[in-house]
């Protein structure tokens, strides 16, 4: 298909010389990279005026990614769909669903001089998905690369029966040093500590700081968060994602992951937006839409 001016097809190569198709976006507002696998934003960096300090990259992407096709890419904004975490009844199903492991179809690109580029990708049911989730569906991701990075996910139930799903944008945000970062907007909000023996709701009244492996699900959250870093802040806003997750693997978990550098846990924090607390039930023929807006804000 014809690409809008300012967008180019690129490839990431795996160690086995397998290819992952990506899109490289360059416009007056930002540079970005999107993998067709997972419809996954890998990079987004706002542009600054020549006399100003450059913006830091919004997203962290592991240097240890193999880019093997069908292997989840560590970093950027993986989409966990149609379930978050481990599938309730089948622990052997793909963690965080199948959407991030499949190649999505690029269906449209557009450019608006005041809004930047729009890229639309879609994924529909296929033999691979039906072995885990036997429903007809279509998901579209609309990615706006402008003065901020905006995502919309449109889920269509094209089946004859209702289905349930949970999801999250598992965003990896760059921080200069995790020990100096603070996460605002989630204090006074109930969370479940995924690492605790007892999975009961807890509340903290202070901004979150990361001092150890952290894996928290906030079933009901406000949708407005900031990551305060030394050099800049990251603004995270959504009007439809009712749940949030905060994750950093810290030292030991990093060593078990295999695709995160030994010290790289210090350079990112995941603040994930989605709907996890209660699954969404989508009736046959119905559609649901979810949004997320992200940007780096100078101090």
Interface contacts to ligand TA6, rule CB under 6 A: 72, 85, 95-96, 170, 194, 215, 245, 247, 270, 272
| Residue with Cβ nearer ligand TA6 (167 or 247) | 247
Nearest position to ligand TA6, beta carbon: 247
Tell the burial category of 292 from Cβ atoms under 10 Å away from its Cβ (0-12, 13-18, 19+).
buried
| Residue with Cβ nearer ligand TA6 (25 or 72) | 72
Burial 200-211 (b: 16+ CB within 10 A, else e): eeeeeeeebebe
Tokens of 296: 């780096």
CB of 226 to ligand TA6, least distance (A): 19
> Rounded to whole angstroms, how far apart are CA atoms 291 and 88?
25
CB of 64 to ligand TA6, least distance (A): 12
CB of 94 to ligand TA6, least distance (A): 9
Please provide residue 101's backbone torsions phi and psi, each rounded to the nearest 5 degrees: -100, -5
> Rounded to whole angstroms, how far apart are CA atoms 151 and 99?
15
DSSP 153-214: EEEEE-SSS-EEEEEEE--EEE-S-GGG-EEES-TT--EEETTSSS--EE--SS-B--SS-E
| Residue with Cβ nearer ligand TA6 (194 or 235) | 194
CB of 96 to ligand TA6, least distance (A): 5
| Residue with Cβ nearer ligand TA6 (78 or 185) | 78
| Residue with Cβ nearer ligand TA6 (145 or 217) | 217
CB of 215 to ligand TA6, least distance (A): 5
């Amino acid at each position: 298909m014809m690409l809008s001016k300012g967008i180019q097809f690129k490839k990431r190569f795996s160690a086995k010389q397998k290819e992952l198709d990506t899109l490289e976006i360059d416009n007056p507002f930002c540079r970005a990279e999107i993998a067709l696998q997972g419809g996954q934003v890998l990079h987004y960096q706002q542009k600054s005026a020549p006399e100003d300090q450059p913006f830091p990259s919004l997203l962290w992407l592991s240097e240890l990614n193999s880019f093997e096709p069908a292997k989840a890419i560590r970093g950027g904004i993986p989409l966990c769909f149609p379930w978050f975490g481990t599938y309730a009844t089948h622990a052997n199903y793909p963690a965080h669903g199948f959407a991030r492991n499949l190649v999505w179809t690029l269906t449209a690109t557009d450019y608006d001089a005041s809004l930047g580029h729009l890229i639309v990708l879609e994924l529909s049911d296929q033999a691979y998905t039906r072995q885990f989730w036997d429903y007809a569906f279509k998901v579209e991701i609309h990615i706006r690369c402008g003065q901020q990075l905006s995502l919309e996910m449109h889920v269509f139930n094209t089946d004859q029966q209702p289905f349930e799903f949970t999801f999250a944008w598992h965003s990896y945000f760059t921080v200069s040093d995790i020990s100096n970062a603070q996460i605002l907007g989630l204090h006074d909000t109930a969370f479940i500590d995924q690492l605790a023996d007892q999975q009961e709701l807890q509340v903290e009244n202070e901004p979150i700081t990361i001092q150890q492996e952290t894996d928290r699900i906030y079933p009901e959250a406000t949708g407005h968060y900031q990551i305060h870093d030394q050099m800049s802040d990251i603004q995270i806003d959504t009007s439809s994602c009712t749940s949030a997750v905060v994750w950093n693997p810290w030292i030991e978990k990093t060593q078990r992951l295999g695709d995160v550098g030994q010290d790289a846990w210090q350079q990112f924090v995941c603040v994930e937006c989605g709907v996890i607390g209660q699954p969404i039930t989508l009736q046959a023929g119905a559609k649901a839409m979810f949004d997320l807006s992200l940007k780096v804000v100078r101090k």
